[in-house]
Structure 1
Amino acid sequence: MNRALPRPPSAAAGAPATGLAASAPGALFALLLALPLLAGLGSHPLIDVDEGAFSAATRELLASGDWGHTTLNGAPRFDKPILVYWLQAASVALLGLNEWALRLPSALCTWAAALAAERFVGERHGAQSGRLTALILVTAFGPWAMARAATADALLNLLLMLTALDLWRHLESGARPPLRRAAAWAALGLLAKGPIALLVPGAALGLWALSRRDGAALRRALGDPAAWLILIAIAAPWYLYALHRHGMDFIAGFILKHNVGRFTGPMEGHGGSLLYYVLIVPLLWLPWTPLWLRAARHWRALWGDAQLRFWLCWAGFVIVFFSLSGTKLPHYSLYAGPGLLMLTAWALRQSTPGGALRGALWGALALLVLLLGALPWLLQSGAVPIGDALYAALLRGAPTPWAVLAMGAALLVLVALLAAAPGRGLASCAFAPRFATAAWLVALGHGWVVVPWLGEALQGPIQRTALAARALGSDAAVVQWNTHWPSVGVYLQRAVPPRAPQPGELAITRTDRLQRLQPPPNVTLLRQENGVALVRREGF
C-alpha cells in the first residue's frame, strides 16, 4: 500500500442530550473539564519521594539561577531531563513557591491532552463524541491522579498524546506538516523524560506498518529530513550541554542508570511479575474499563480498521515493553494512554451499552468510590497491614476521616440516582453523557476531600517539622538523618543533605530509627509528631 489512507468525514453531533458532554458551550466545557484536575490541588503537602524531589530540584534551580542544570540537595540530579523543571520554575516564579504552583503544570498538561483528544475525535465523529473522549481522560483514575502530581509524567503523557495524534494525521493523509509537528512533540518528550518519548511512537509506527505490510507508509514517516532536523534542533542542544558539562557522569547517571538500568533490573525495590500490568492497568482506567469487554468482543473489527489498529499497536507495545522491564511502577502503563483512550472512546460511541455492560460500568464507578472512600478508614484502623512503622504512626495520628466518609456516602447516593431508571433532568439523558457526568462529579469530590486527607495524613507532620526547623531561625545546618524526604528542602527553602548531624546541627528524622541507634546519640528532642522528629545534635 503506497497511497494515503482515506480520512473519515466529520460526523454530525450525536442525538440531543444533556449533561457535560453536550449542553455546555465550548469555553465553559473546557473550564468544567479542568475542575476535577484543579480541585484541592494545593490543599495538601508535597508527597515524598517523587513530588518532593522534583519540587526541591526546581527550588534549587531558581535559587541558583542556573536553568541548564538541576541539583537535589546540592548534588547533580540526573533522574530526568530539564523540561518539567522549567515549567515548574516558571509557575513558581509567577505564583510563588507553594504546592499549587508546583502541581499546576501537571494539571494543565492533562487538561491540554484532553482538549487535544476532544478535537481529534470531534473532527471525525462529532462534537459529543469528542467531549466524551475528553471526559474519559480527566476522570479515569490513573490520568487524573498523575494530573495532580508535581512530577514529569503528566507532561510526558501530553507530549505522547500530541505525538500520537499528529502521527496518525500524517498516516491517514500523507501530509508532512502533521509529521513535523509529531517530531517536535517527540523532541519535547525527549526533554521531558528521555528516550521513551521516541521509543513508544517509533515502535507503534513500526508495528502498525509491519502488520499491514505497508513499507511505503513507514518510509514516508521516517524519510522526511525536515522532521529529523526539527527533532534534533529541539532536543540536541540541552543533551549536548549536559554531556559537555557532566561528561561520563551524565551518561552513567541519566542514560545507564535511569534508562537502561530501570529496564534491566528493579530500582528502589520497584519490581513485579510479568502479570503486574495485567492487574494494574484496569484499575488505573476505572471507571471506564468495562468498556474494554466490548472492544475485546470486536477485536477483529478493531484490527481490521487502520486507525484502531494503530491504537492497538501503541497500547500493546507499551504494556508488553514495561511488563518485560525490571522496574515496574503503575504510572509507566499510562504511556499507553493515547491508544487506550481512543479504544475506550470507540467502545463508548458504539450503540448504547446493554444492561449487563451498563451495570458493569455503574458498578466500576461505585467500586472506585468505595476504594478511595474506604482506603483512609482501612489504613487508619489497621485492617490493611502496614509494615512500615513510620506510616503506621502517621496514619494512627491522623484526624478521623469523617469528611471522607460523608463524601463517599454522598457520591454513592449520586451514582445510584444517576444509574436508576430514567426520570427527569440529568437522569433522563442518554447513557453515555449521564455516566460521564457522574464520573466527573466523582473525580471532583475525590479531589476536594479524599486526596487532601491522604496527603495531610502521610505528609503533614513532615511538612510541619520542616517549617518548625525553619522557624527556629538558626544558622545551623539542617540535615535528613536516616531518611529521605526531599520535600523538607522546599519548606526550609534550602538544601537539606541526607547525612548524620554534626554537633550543633539540626536533624529531621524518624522516631523509630532514632530509638534504634546504638549507642544512643546525644540529642535534644525539639519536636515530635506521629513518628517524625526534629532534634539537635549535642556534643559527643
Structure 2
Amino acid sequence: MPNVKAALSRLMHTEFFGQASRGLRGPLIAALLAFLVGLPCALIMPPLDRDESRFVQATSQMLETGDYINISYQDGPRHKKPVGIHWMQAAAVKLTSTVEARKILAYRWPSLLGAALAAFACAWGASRAFGTRIGTKAGLIFAVSFMLSTEAFWAKTDAVLTGLLTLAMAALSIIYMRTRDVDKADPPPKLGKELWIFWLATAFAILVKGPVAFLILALPILTLWGWDRRITWVRYLNIGWGLILCLAICGPWAVAITITTDGAFWTGAVGHDLKTKLDGGSEGHFGWPGYHTLLLAITMFPACGLLGGAIQTAIQRRTEPAIRFAVAWFLPAFLFFEIMPTKLPHYTLPTFAALCWLAAVSLDLSLKTWAKIINLVFGLLGGVLLTGLAWYGYKEYGTQGSLLLLVAVGASALVLMIFAAWLLLRNQQRTAFGFLLASGIIAHLSFVSLAASLTPIWVSRKMEAALQAHKLDPRLGIAPGPVATLGYSEPSLVFEMGTKTQLLNENAPAAVKALKEGRPVFVESLQEAEFQKAAKADGVVPRVVTKVTGTNYSNGRDVVITLYDNPLPEAVRPAE
C-alpha cells in the first residue's frame, strides 16, 4: 500500500498535473475518461425499460418511415420531448449500423458523446475560473461520477442535455467573470467565442429537452442578480441576437410539428407531461424533499467524498466571482428539483459540474473538522449503499460468475473509498484524489457488469432467445410474424423484435387469432386463464413451446411467460 500511495502522490503532484492539463489537454483528458468509462457499459447492457427503449424505438420508426418530424411509438404519438435526441440517434445509426440490425449500441453513441462533452465543458469552465490544474481535477471527478457514467450508456436525453447545458454554463461563467465589474465607460471585452458557444449550446439544449434548458440557465442569472444586486453584465449576452439564433435552430421543427399534429404535440409535452411532473408524482415517481440530497451519496459517487470540502469552499470563498457563480449554478436548480414533487435521480445531473468545481477547489484548502466529517459520512454512505445494492442484486438474481463482480464492487466502492476518506482526514488530498478516481472508475464498471450478468431481470432478452432457440423468430424467415404478447408489454421487446410486435395487453381473443395465423404468442401467467378460455371458445389447442421466467424490474413483479405455437398445415407454412 505505501508504494501505491507514493505512485498516486507523484501522479497528482502539482507540477506534473499542471503540465498534463496545460491548454485544452485537461478538458480533452476528462472527456476521454468519461467516454471510456461509459463505453464498456454501453456494449454489455441490453436495451433498458422503459424510457430508453421507448426513445430508441421512436427513433427506429423515424428511420423506417423517413418521417423525421413526428415522434411515434408503434401506432401512437409520443408527445413528450422535442426531436433533438431522435435526430442525433438517427444520424448515429446511419453512420454505424442499420435500423434492421436493432443494435442498441448504435443508438447510444450520442449519450456517450454527451457525457464526454459534459466532462470536457466542466474542465474547460473550471480551468478558466481556477487554473488548468484545478479545472482538470474538476473534469476528471465529474467524468467518473456515478450518475454521469450511468447516463452515458442510456440512449435518452439526459447525458446529451447535461453536456450541452454544462457547456453553456461554462461559457456563461466566463462571460460573467469578464463583465461583472466592467464599467459602462470601459471598452467592452471580446466575447465572440464564448457568446457563440453559449447560444449554440442553449439552442441545441432546447431542441433536446425544451423548457428544462431555460430553467437551468435562468435560475443562476436571477440568483446572481439578487446576490450581486446588479445585473448589468447580462447586457453583454446579446440576448436579442441569441434568441434569434435559438429561433432559427429550433423554430423550423417547432412550426412543422405544430402543423403536423395540429398543436397536439404541445398539449402533450407541456400541457400533460410537464404539468404532471410539477403537479404531483408523475408515473409514480413522487419523492419527498431531501430525496436528491441523500441520493448525492450515490449519484455523485465518488465526488460525494468531497462534499464537505465543497460546502466549505462555497462558504469560505463566496465573495470570489467564480465561486459565487458555481454556487448560483448548483444551489437554486438543485433546490427546485428538491421541491418538485416528481423526482428521478438524474434530474439534478445538469447541476453537478458546479459541485465538482467546488470539490476540486477544496482539494487545495485546509479543511475544517466539520467539512472532513461530511466528506467521511457521504463517502462511506455512498460506498455502503452501492455495495448493498450490488449485494441485493447478487443475492436475488446472481449466478456463480456474478460473485467476482460483487467482490469488485465492494473492494472499489467501499475499501478504496475508506482509504480515500482516511487520506482526506490526514490532509493528504493529492493521494486521496487518486483513490477517489480509482474508486469511481472500478465501482461503476463492476456495478454495471454485475447488473448485466443478472439474467433473470432481462426478460425481453430471454424471450428473444427462446424464439431463436425454437426457430420461431420471424426474422429467421421460418415462422410468420409479427410476434404477439399477451400481458407482457415492455418496450424493450418491441425494440428487440421490431415495430410491428403486437402488445395485446389483456386482449385474449386477439392472441388466439394470432395463433390461428401461425404466429408465435407469449402469454404472461396473469392472462393465462383468459387466454385458455378464448382458445377453447375458438376451437384452438395452443401448443406449449417453452416457458420464460424472470423478474420484470420495471414493476418489480416475478413473471412466468409461456411461448405458444399453433403450427399451420405444411401446405400453408412458409418454406424453410
TM band (smaller chain): 0.7 to 0.9
- Whichever residue aligns with residue 277 of structure 2, its letter is R
In structure 2, the CA distance between the partners of 1:300 and 1:380, relative to structure 1 (3 Å rule), is closer
In structure 2, the CA distance between the partners of 1:189 and 1:419, relative to structure 1 (3 Å rule), is closer
Give deviations 1:283-328, integer Å, cap 9, x for gaps.
3112222422233345443432223222222222222222232321
In structure 2, the CA distance between the partners of 1:370 and 1:298, relative to structure 1 (3 Å rule), is closer
1:42 partner SS: helix
Counterpart residue number, 1:54: 55
Counterpart residue number, 1:486: 491
TM-score (norm 1): 0.82
In structure 2, the CA distance between the partners of 1:453 and 1:251, relative to structure 1 (3 Å rule), is same
Structure 1 distance, partners of 2:108, 2:317, is 37
Structure 1 distance, partners of 2:31, 2:200, is 25
Deviation of the 1:115 alpha carbon: 1.4
Counterpart residue number, 2:333: 318
Counterpart residue number, 2:222: 206
Deviation of the 1:133 alpha carbon: 1.0
In structure 2, the CA distance between the partners of 1:205 and 1:321, relative to structure 1 (3 Å rule), is same
Counterpart residue number, 1:434: 434
Residues 404 and 449 in structure 1, CA contact (< 8 A), matched pair in contact too: yes
Counterpart residue number, 2:482: 477
In structure 2, the CA distance between the partners of 1:205 and 1:497, relative to structure 1 (3 Å rule), is farther
RMSD between aligned residues: 3.5
Query: Counterparts in 2 of 1:328-343, with a 5 A limit?
Result: 328-343=343-358
Query: Counterparts in 2 of 1:236-251, with a 5 A limit?
Result: 236-251=251-266
Residues 72 and 78 in structure 2, CA contact (< 8 A), matched pair in contact too: yes
Query: Counterparts in 2 of 1:119-130, with a 5 A limit?
Result: 119-130=124-135
Deviation of the 1:18 alpha carbon: 7.3
In structure 2, the CA distance between the partners of 1:254 and 1:420, relative to structure 1 (3 Å rule), is closer
- Larger Rg over CA atoms: 2
Residues 39 and 447 in structure 1, CA contact (< 8 A), matched pair in contact too: no
Residues 405 and 450 in structure 2, CA contact (< 8 A), matched pair in contact too: yes
- The yes-or-no answer on 1:446 pairing with 2:465 is no
- Whichever residue aligns with residue 526 of structure 1, its letter is V
Deviation of the 1:151 alpha carbon: 1.2
Query: Structure 2 regions of 5+ residues with no counterpart?
Result: 1-11, 180-189, 536-541, 550-558, 568-576
In structure 2, the CA distance between the partners of 1:361 and 1:206, relative to structure 1 (3 Å rule), is closer
Counterpart residue number, 1:267: 282
Structure 2 distance, partners of 1:116, 1:512, is 50
- Whichever residue aligns with residue 202 of structure 2, its letter is A
TM-score (norm 2): 0.78
- Whichever residue aligns with residue 491 of structure 2, its letter is P
1:304 partner SS: coil
Deviation of the 1:94 alpha carbon: 2.4
Query: Structure 1 regions of 5+ residues with no counterpart?
Result: 1-12, 383-394, 423-427
Query: Counterparts in 2 of 1:492-511, with a 5 A limit?
Result: 492-499=497-504, 500=507, 501-502=510-511, 503-505=513-515, 511=524
502, 515, 526: which is aligned to 1:513?
526
Counterpart residue number, 1:80: 81
Structure 2 distance, partners of 1:88, 1:232, is 22
Larger RCO, structure (CA 8 Å, separation 6 or more): 1
Counterpart residue number, 1:458: 457
In structure 2, the CA distance between the partners of 1:131 and 1:229, relative to structure 1 (3 Å rule), is same
- Whichever residue aligns with residue 85 of structure 1, its letter is H
Count of aligned pairs? 505
- Whichever residue aligns with residue 435 of structure 2, its letter is F
Deviation of the 1:518 alpha carbon: 8.3
Counterpart residue number, 1:196: 212
Structure 1 distance, partners of 2:457, 2:350, is 27
Residues 20 and 437 in structure 1, CA contact (< 8 A), matched pair in contact too: no
Structure 2 distance, partners of 1:517, 1:536, is 14
1:484 partner SS: coil
Deviation of the 1:118 alpha carbon: 1.6
- Whichever residue aligns with residue 458 of structure 1, its letter is I
When structure 1 is superposed on structure 2, of 242-251 and 428-437 the one drifting more is: 428-437
- Whichever residue aligns with residue 128 of structure 2, its letter is E
Give deviations 1:139-170, integer Å, cap 9, x for gaps.
21111111121111001111110111111222
Residues 115 and 134 in structure 1, CA contact (< 8 A), matched pair in contact too: yes
Residues 85 and 156 in structure 2, CA contact (< 8 A), matched pair in contact too: yes
Residues 42 and 98 in structure 1, CA contact (< 8 A), matched pair in contact too: no
